[in-house]
Every structure is written in C-alpha cells, then in structure tokens.
Amino acid sequence: MQPQNLIHPTAIIDPGAQIGKGTRIWHFCHIMPLASVGDGCTIGQNVFIDNHVEVGNRVKIQNNVSLYNGVIIGDDVFLGPSVVFTNVINPRSFIERKNEFKPTLISNGATIGANAAIICGISIGAYALVGAGAVVTKSFPPFALVTGNPATQKGWVSRSAYKLIFNDKGEGDCPATREKYRLNGTKVEILE
C-alpha cells in the first residue's frame, strides 16, 4: 500500500492485495489478497473486493458493493450504492462451481446506477450508463443508455453522461460539452 492512501481502521486489506496511490478505503471494507485496486480510487463503506478482481484507476465504488472473482472494472468507472455482481449463472450451495466463474467487464468511464444487478459473463462498453435498478443480462456497447428489468437500450449518452440526440445524418453533440458524436449503425463514435 502507498503511504498517501487513506485506509479506515475497520477496513481489512489482506496481505498481497495491490492498492494504488491515493486510494481511499472506508469503513468495514474487505480487500482479498489477490485483488488489485488502481490509483486514486474511492472505495465506499462495506465494499468487498474478491480475489482476481481488477479495479482500474480513479474508480468510485459506493457503499455495499461486492465485486466477486472475475469482475474487471476499467478506469474512471462509477458503481452506485448496492450494485450487485454475480460470477456463476446457476449457483447452488451444495454444488461447487468455482471452475465455472464467468468474467464480467465494465469498460472505462461506464456508470452503473444504484441497485443495478449485473449478471456474469457480459461486458458494458466504455461510457455506457446503466440506470438505477436495472437487471443487466446481456452485453451493451459503448455510450449505451440502459434501463429496466431486463435491461434494454433506451438510447445513447455522451462521455459526460448526457443523452445524445442524433440528426438525420447521424450527427449529435453533448449538450454540456459540445463534443461531437456520430451514430454509425449500432455504434457511436466521438468525432475529433
């Protein structure tokens, strides 16, 4: 651990866990020995980070989130309070399925809203926004706006998380930053 980190005295950081510079870990967290947390992260109260979980840089994980084996979180991701991740499709307490864990990828800049459930084996694209309470059972592309149970795509968002509206040429811009975007079929790209 880096000396400039803030680790609350009630947090348990197992020997071997990798914690980046400037990361803050709050009350009652548990970071397992084979977990990796990047630089400049904020880990809220009562967060569990399992072995073989990778958390990127500048990630904000709100209270009561558990990241189970196989979850990979990119840089600049926001995980709202009580987000739920799974790592087995068909769990049973009496059948060990640790060799069946499915990886889950949350790409750079994505936001997962409070109380969303993310089923294992999927990926959420860069800068996508998953609404509060969504139940995500399939993968979604970068910049997707996703809500509901089961979650469906309702549109597109900018890097600043504002809804994008495209004209008949497939061009749009972020209402906050004026950054330009193009909708190309089922993909959104930023115009330089």
Question: For 147-170, how does the pLDDT look when each residue is reduced to its tens digit (9 = 90+)?
Answer: 999 999 999 999 999 999 999 999
pLDDT at 40 over 60: yes
- Give the domain ranges of the chain: 6-163
Q: Is 181 helix (H, G, I), strand (E, B) or coil?
A: strand
Q: Mean per-residue pLDDT for 57-66?
A: 98
β partners of residue 157: 163
Q: With contact defined as beta carbons under 8 Å apart, do 174 and 161 qualify? A: no
Q: What was the pLDDT predicted at 3?
A: 55
Q: What is the mean pLDDT of the chain?
A: 96
How does residue 192 score in pLDDT terms, banded at 50, 70 and 90? confident
- Tokens representing 44? 């809220």
Q: With contact defined as beta carbons under 8 Å apart, do 81 and 98 qualify? A: no
Cα distance from N-terminal residue to C-terminal residue, the chain? 38
How does residue 4 score in pLDDT terms, banded at 50, 70 and 90? confident
Residue 92, Cβ density class (10 Å: 0-12 exposed, 13-18 middle, ≥19 buried): exposed
> Which is nearest to 156 in space by CA: 128, 192, 131?
128
List Cβ neighbours of 181 (8 Å cut-off, separation of 6 or more).
143, 156, 158, 164, 166, 171, 172, 173, 174, 188, 189, 190, 191
3-state SS of the chain: helix, strand, coil percent to 5? Answer: 0, 35, 65
What is the distance between the alpha carbons of residues 116 and 132, in angstroms, rounded to a whole number? 6
Q: What was the pLDDT predicted at 132?
A: 98
pLDDT at 2 over 80: no
What is the distance between the alpha carbons of residues 90 and 76, in angstroms, rounded to a whole number? 31
Q: Mean per-residue pLDDT for 167-188?
A: 95
pTM for this predicted structure: 0.95
Q: Mean per-residue pLDDT for 179-190?
A: 95
> Which is nearest to 140 in space by CA: 115, 167, 119?
119
Residue 122, Cβ density class (10 Å: 0-12 exposed, 13-18 middle, ≥19 buried): middle
Q: Mean per-residue pLDDT for 111-121?
A: 98
Half-sphere exposure of 144 (CA within 13 A, CB side): 22
How does residue 13 score in pLDDT terms, banded at 50, 70 and 90? very high
CATH superfamily of 6-163: Hexapeptide repeat proteins (2.160.10.10)
